Structure formats: C-alpha cells, structure tokens
C-alpha cells in the first residue's frame, strides 16, 4: 500500500509515485528542493555538411528511444491530436514498447489515443495535465497502475531543468523549420500556424535528443527561431503537424461571455477591487484570464483610456485584443507565451512588432529562474471551480470529485502576483440540474494554496485574505466601501454560497472516494500539494 504523509495544508499525499520519491508541500515559497543531480545532455557534435534531415520519425525513435524510455511533447496545438497520433504511430513502427510520455497537457481528442496506447503496451506511463476525455480515461483506470503527475507550466520547466525526468527524445511539431532545426509557429501553412512554440523550449534544451517535425522546410537560417538549431539533433518533414482550429476555446470568445449577467456582475466586482486597491496606474503589469476576465479587461481599458494610463507589460494566452493594446499604446510590451486565438493579424504582430515578444515558459513562470516574468505582476485575476475557508483553490475537480481539468499556469501566476484575485460564482448548477456551492468548508482538491490568494470575488461579495502579504491589501480594505464593494468574511461567504446552491436546486451528492490515487498535483517547486482519488462506483 502507498505510504502517505500529511503536507503543510493537511492533505495526505504519497511519499512516492511510480517509483519516484516526492516531498510533501511545505509552503508556497519554501526553498526549492535540490532534486536529482542534473546531468547535461551529451553534446551531439555535427560534422561539417552533415545533415540533420531524417526520413521518418520512426527512424529517429529507433535511434534515440529504448524500451521504457521517455519522450516529451508540448501542447500548443491544444485539442488537436495530429502530433500525438504521429508520435504513437512512430513508436509502433519503431517496435519500442513501455514508453513514458512527458507532456504538458492532454485534451479531449487525445483520450482515446492514450487509452489504446496503454492497452497495447505501447505506453507504460504518461505525465501531464488532463482535460476532457483524457481526464475521464485516467478516472476510469485506463492508465492503471500508473498514477498521472500534473505540473504547473513553471513547475514543468523547473523539473526539466533539474533533470527530474531524463528525456531521451523531445518531439516538437512546428509548421515551419529549416534543415538545421531553426523553427517557429508563425510561418508555413496558415491552417497549421500555432503562434508561440516556446512551451517546447525546456524540452529542446534539456532532452538528450530533439526532433523537429515540420510541414514546410524553408530557407536557412529561418528567422524568427524560438526553437533554434543549438538544441535540435534531427529534422523530419511530415505532411501535417496540427490543425490550428484545435487551439481556440469557448472561454476566450468575448461574444460568449458578454451576455452572461452573472459573469458581468463578477467582472464588475473584480474591477471595483482593482480600483480600490489602486493597482490601475502607470506602469502596472497584469495577467487577467479568460471568461469573466475578458469583461474585466474591456472595462479596465476604458478606465485607462479616460485617465491616460499606460501599463507596463501583460502576459497570458495571446488573442487579438493584445494586438489592439499594443497598437493603441495601452501597454508597452506583451510577453506572449502561447496562442489562444490563432489569426493572421496576431502572427503578423508577433513577427513584426518588437514589443510583441515570444517568451518561453522558463522566462514566464519558472520558479527556479532568477527572475521569472510572473514575479513582476502587480495584479493577477484567475478563475477556479471552488475555494474554501482557507482560500485554497481547486481547478482539478469540483464538488462531485470528478477529475475534469488540469493545472496550467494559474498557480505560477497566483504566486507571482502582488494582488491575486480569484473570480467565481457563489454556486453552480450542472447539466442534470444539481447544484453545488463554489465557496465551501473544504475544497475537494487543492491546486493553489490560500497563502497566495489575496481575495475571492463573486457576483455580490468580496472576501479578502487578511493573512496574505499583498502590498495592495491595506488600500483594498480601506477603500472597499467607497468603491461599492460588499466586503464579507470568507466564512460568511461560504454560508452564502451554500444558501445559493440550495435555492438553485437539489445539491449534488457528496463524493465517496476509494484509496486508489489516479492523479497527483505538484506545486510549482515539485512538492506534492494534493492527490486525486478514484471515486467509488
């Protein structure tokens, strides 16, 4: 039986997962654990005139990946399975088995592919965040006895830098590259352009071998090249690497959120909190997420225009409104980490505007960096499925305990922000008409600890975490009433949430779990913050 230990927020987590030892979470800003002794990948000297071009990905796999080895792959095509299918087919053709896949995130379209690969013995393990059918596959035992490890974006960059997994081959799909491996996501066929590919920067830099899969071979040296030839050992040309239509999600479409009165009310309260705190000022840096966050941004930009305020930089998944901000001069710089809304205008900006900068997850989020960009944020606005009386936030599961989503960069941003606001409704109703409070006594799982949460905002109320160390907290508390905020304690907010849920309909049943762990969540420093257990039948 797996030995468990209680971490500093009272969650029982395993001491080892899949044979790898883990420390329990011990605080949001604890010293980084040393990790395994890192051994730099062996330099692959390239002879003069020696070509990196290979006939097929299967040929590269035969050369680089042993049975039971590790392969990594980024996820900037998001819910598109093209690249994963190419990789699994190459593993099969190469005759290797029991391979471990170190991803970033796996989405709905990847679920059946992963399940079949485990059933056939092609894969023996997978690490990465799980969404949709991929999460359902894990919950159903498709990967058993393997336990999936999920990391924050910054935590994954740190893990690769520290050598926590010795990756034999990084597979990086791109629409355009040259024969030396210089590659980007803003050239090539428009249907495959994906924008920033620097999510793959840690993969290329810290893997023993790196192969670029490209649709088009363009003249060398290819510029820009966020993936560059220093770290690329092989180049394989394929028919297609991905469909950019898999990138967009509904929460990034402002037309879908504009007509939602609840989201608008939440957005209005978030904006009031920002004004009360005095965070909207010349040179302020921000990350504000999708969903209701788009409504916050719309109103915030109006305030900035009326008052002649120009922000410093913003980060986040890129959309066309970021180009608007640059062109209008409302922000000085945009640090673009991944694309959420592929468009010719967005990619033209990324190529031609020096203020539109593609950044790696190492620069963006890595807690082991001397200065990640996220540590310079004045305000961060995020969402979650539920929060508890200790301000702990859950994004993995909900009231019913079902694993549905992953971790992403939210915890990294929350830890970096001087003022971190989580915005969510008091209660929700699922498709079957059952309700649940979103503020409760104890969340099902913790992804972001309350230590880094400044405030929780709902449609009608705001609860401020007076134990957090935000420099904006005194002003927020002093000016809350003046800005029309209904300030309540978090305990009272939990009671209001339960009342709202009961009015909305019959409460969801409390989940009952087995002892089987199907997923563990790492804090950004690699320590385990929580574990997701299998539900009883």
pTM of the model: 0.94
66, 170 in Cβ contact below 8 A? no
Q: How far apart are the first and last CA of the chain?
A: 21
315, 374 in Cβ contact below 8 A? yes
Q: How many helices (H) and strands (E) does the chain have?
A: 15, 28
- The predicted structure's pLDDT at residue 473: 96
- The predicted structure's pLDDT at residue 297: 87
Under the banding of pLDDT at 50, 70 and 90, the label for residue 46 is low
Cα separation, 494 vs 497, whole angstroms: 5
- The predicted structure's pLDDT at residue 42: 58
Asked whether residue 250 carries a pLDDT value surpassing 70, the answer given is no
- The predicted structure's pLDDT at residue 432: 87
Position with higher pLDDT, 35 vs 39: 35
Question: What sign results for the dihedral spanned by CA atoms 464, 466, 468, 469?
Answer: positive
pLDDT tens for 331-360 read 999 999 999 889 999 999 999 999 999 999
Q: Which uninterrupted H or E stretch holds 120? A: helix 111-120
Cα separation, 21 vs 190, whole angstroms: 44
Cα separation, 217 vs 211, whole angstroms: 14
pLDDT tens for 50-102 read 899 999 999 999 999 999 999 999 989 999 999 999 999 999 999 999 999 99
Residue among 516, 524, 447, 448 at smallest CA distance from 14? 516
Sorted by sequence, the CB contacts under 8 Å of residue 34 that are 6+ apart come out as none
The residue-averaged pLDDT of 194-198 equals 93
Asked whether residue 38 carries a pLDDT value surpassing 90, the answer given is no
pLDDT tens for 133-163 read 999 999 999 999 999 999 999 999 999 999 8
Asked whether residue 293 carries a pLDDT value surpassing 50, the answer given is yes
- The predicted structure's pLDDT at residue 254: 47
Under the banding of pLDDT at 50, 70 and 90, the label for residue 431 is confident
Residue with tokens 């996501």: 185
- The predicted structure's pLDDT at residue 305: 94
203, 167 in Cβ contact below 8 A? yes
102, 169 in Cβ contact below 8 A? no
Asked whether residue 255 carries a pLDDT value surpassing 60, the answer given is no
Could you give the percent of the chain with pLDDT greater than 90?
86
Q: Indicate the DSSP class of residue 389.
A: T
Cross-strand bridge partners of residue 182: none
> Average per-residue pLDDT in the chain?
93
Under the banding of pLDDT at 50, 70 and 90, the label for residue 316 is confident
């Amino acid at each position: 039986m797996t030995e468990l230990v209680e971490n500093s927020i009272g969650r029982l987590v395993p001491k080892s997962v899949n044979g790898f030892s883990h420390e329990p979470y011990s605080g949001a800003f604890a010293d980084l654990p040393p990790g395994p002794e890192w051994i730099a990948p062996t330099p692959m000297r390239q002879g003069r005139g020696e070509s990196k071009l290979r006939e097929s990905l299967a040929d590269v796999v035969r050369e680089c990946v042993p049975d039971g080895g590790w392969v990594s792959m980024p996820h900037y095509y998001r819910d598109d399975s093209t690249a994963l299918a190419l990789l699994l087919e190459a593993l099969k053709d190469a005759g290797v088995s029991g391979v471990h896949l170190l991803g970033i995130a796996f989405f709905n379209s990847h679920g059946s592919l992963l399940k079949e690969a485990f059933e056939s013995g092609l894969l023996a393990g997978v690490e990465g965040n799980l969404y949709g059918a991929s999460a359902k596959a894990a919950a159903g035992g498709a990967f058993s006895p393997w336990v999936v490890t999920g990391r924050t974006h910054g935590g994954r960059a740190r893990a690769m830098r520290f050598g926590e997994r010795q990756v034999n081959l990084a597979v990086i799909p791109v629409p355009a590259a040259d024969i030396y491996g210089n590659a980007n996501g803003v050239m090539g066929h428009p249907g495959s352009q994906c924008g920033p590919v620097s999510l793959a920067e840690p993969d290329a830099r810290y893997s023993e071998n790196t192969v670029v899969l490209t649709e088009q071979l363009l003249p060398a040296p290819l510029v820009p090249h966020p993936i560059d030839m220093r770290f690329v050992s092989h180049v394989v040309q394929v028919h297609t690497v991905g469909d950019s239509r898999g990138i967009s999600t509904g929460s990034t479409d402002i037309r879908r959120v504009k007509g939602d009165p609840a989201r608008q009310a939440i957005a209005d309260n978030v904006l009031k909190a920002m004004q009360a705190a005095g965070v909207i000022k010349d040179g302020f840096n921000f990350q504000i997420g999708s969903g209701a966050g788009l409504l916050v941004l719309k109103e915030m930009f109006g305030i900035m225009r009326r008052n002649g305020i120009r922000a410093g930089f913003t980060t986040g998944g890129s959309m066309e409104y970021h180009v608007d901000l640059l062109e209008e001069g409302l922000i000085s710089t945009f640090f673009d980490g991944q694309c959420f809304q592929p468009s010719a205008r967005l990619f033209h900006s990324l190529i031609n505007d020096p203020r539109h900068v593609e950044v790696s997850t190492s620069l963006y989020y890595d807690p082991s960096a001397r200065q990640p960009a996220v540590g310079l944020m004045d305000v961060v606005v995020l969402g979650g499925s539920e929060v508890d009386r200790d301000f702990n936030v859950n994004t993995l599961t909900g009231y019913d305990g079902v694993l549905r989503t992953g971790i992403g960069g939210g915890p990294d941003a929350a830890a970096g922000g001087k003022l971190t606001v989580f915005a969510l409704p008091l209660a929700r109703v699922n498709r079957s008409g059952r309700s649940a409070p979103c503020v409760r006594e104890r969340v099902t799982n913790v992804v972001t600890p309350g230590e880094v949460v400044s405030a929780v905002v709902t449609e009608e109320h705001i609860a401020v975490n007076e134990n957090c160390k935000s420099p904006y907290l005194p002003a927020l508390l002093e000016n809350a009433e003046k800005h029309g905020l209904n300030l309540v304690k978090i305990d009272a907010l939990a009671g209001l949430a339960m009342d709202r849920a009961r009015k909305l309909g019959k409460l969801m049943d409390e989940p009952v779990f087995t002892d089987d762990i199907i997923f563990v969540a790492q804090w950004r420093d690699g320590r385990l913050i929580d574990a997701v257990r299998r539900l009883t039948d």
